[in-house]
Chain A
Amino acid sequence: MDADAIDKAPDAADTWPDQIYDLLKKHEIRQVCLVPDAGHSRLIKRCLADNEIIVTTLTTEEEGIALMQGAWLGGDKAVLLMQSSGVGNCINMLSLSHIHRCPMPMLVTMRGDFGEFNPAQVPMGNATQAVLEAMGTLVKRADAPEDIAPTVDAVIRMAFNTFRPTAALIGQRVIGAKTFGKD
């Protein structure tokens, strides 16, 4: 990861991005759509390298809500990867899940959450869980590395077993925030 990037990526020694990839395979996820986040960078690489997963890079996160609806119509299970700011772009589009009872699991890496450096990330990061829950999404958080895989597993199961939007919030405490020398 670029040392000059403003957002922090998982450390090379972290195993949770690979655990999420293994869960996508276990749950037979066929389509992964995303707007990139540094926190998901390794997971995105794993998905891109997998010929059985169709990866779609979106221009805005709400496209991913619509894409998950279309995938489900055709029998594909899909997930949406994004950072917390992208949740704000999805609000009205989440109606689709309730209108049709369509499973829509979202894996969200948190910004503006725990020790954030960038003031612009804080408003949406602070509102992410409330906004998702206001739109009827089941939200589960993971703030320790060992909690991420069980949380993602639960969120994928709840989406496809109970036909609704669900979200796993991967806390910034896990990924860390850059400080740019302002320690």
Chain B
Amino acid sequence: MYQSTITITLRPSILDVQGKAVELGIHTLGLTGVRNVRIGKSIQLTVDAATEEEAKRVTEEACRKLLANTVMEDYSFTVTKL
């Protein structure tokens, strides 16, 4: 068994309006040195696979076909043995 932890963010070329709004909130707290707030998603999967390579392949396919829309999002993930 493996655990995949996936991070999905908007592609750098896309304006993250949610991130911009949150950045404004952070500045209102007085934390004026904060910049480039980007909001994304974290998704965890437990993958029943024999090898780490297989777990990565399954995770990759899930990301590419469903979890991320690569027109607007990038994804990355780590896989650890449970």
Partners in one complex: no
